Amino acid sequence: MFEVLEHAADVGFRAWGTNVRELFASAAEALVALAMQPDAIEVRERFELAADGDSLESLLVNWLSEVLYYIDGRGLAPGRFDVMELAHGHVSAVAWGEPRDGKRHPARLVVKGITYHQLKIEQTPERWICEVFVDV
């Protein structure tokens, strides 16, 4: 539930969900799809993730930064995200995936960080939508 956004000098994505928890899960899946080829990820191991933020925007940036840390810092290939709790400036989730294998999960882009540049989160009558641009 996301699409890649093209911009003159940036790369980003638009993600959506029927509620905020689903939005955060979709945004994490979009980030994974920017960073690597997700098709071959086997969801066989469980990883717990959490982040805090003072606003919904900072919570989303910190959440995606945590996902990026698991991809790059811990060498994991997360394929599915189940957001368990999202309230009071805190998000906790379970990611399902496996250790990253360069042959099975080839890199697409080197994502250096999540930015606040043109960050947008909005609620419509049908769904929640976010737009996020990353530093590559």
| 75-97 tens-digit pLDDT | 999 999 999 999 999 999 999 99
Distance of CA 69 to the CA centre of its chain: 11
The total number of structural domains in the chain stands at 1
Please check the confidence at residue 1 and state whether its pLDDT lies above 90: no
| Of 9 and 20, the one with more pLDDT | 20
Q: Which amino acid is at 71?
A: I
* 117 φ/ψ angles, rounded to the nearest 5 degrees: -60, 120
| 31-87 tens-digit pLDDT | 999 999 999 999 999 999 999 999 999 999 999 999 999 999 999 999 999 999 999
Q: How far are the Cα atoms of 14, 39, 91, 132, 135 from residue 21, in angstroms, in the given order?
A: 15, 23, 9, 16, 24
Helix (H) or strand (E) holding 92: strand 90-99
* Residues spanned by the domain of 46: 2-135
Cα 1 to Cα 113: distance, rounded to the nearest angstrom: 21
Please check the confidence at residue 6 and state whether its pLDDT lies above 70: no
Residue 83 and residue 114 in contact, taking contact as beta carbons nearer than 8 Å: no
Residue 134 pLDDT? 93
Give the global pTM: 0.92
Six-digit token string for 86:
């999202």
% pLDDT > 70, the chain? 96
The CATH number of the domain where 108 resides is what? 3.55.10.10
pLDDT confidence tier of residue 2, bands split at 50, 70 and 90: confident
Q: Which amino acid is at 61?
A: V
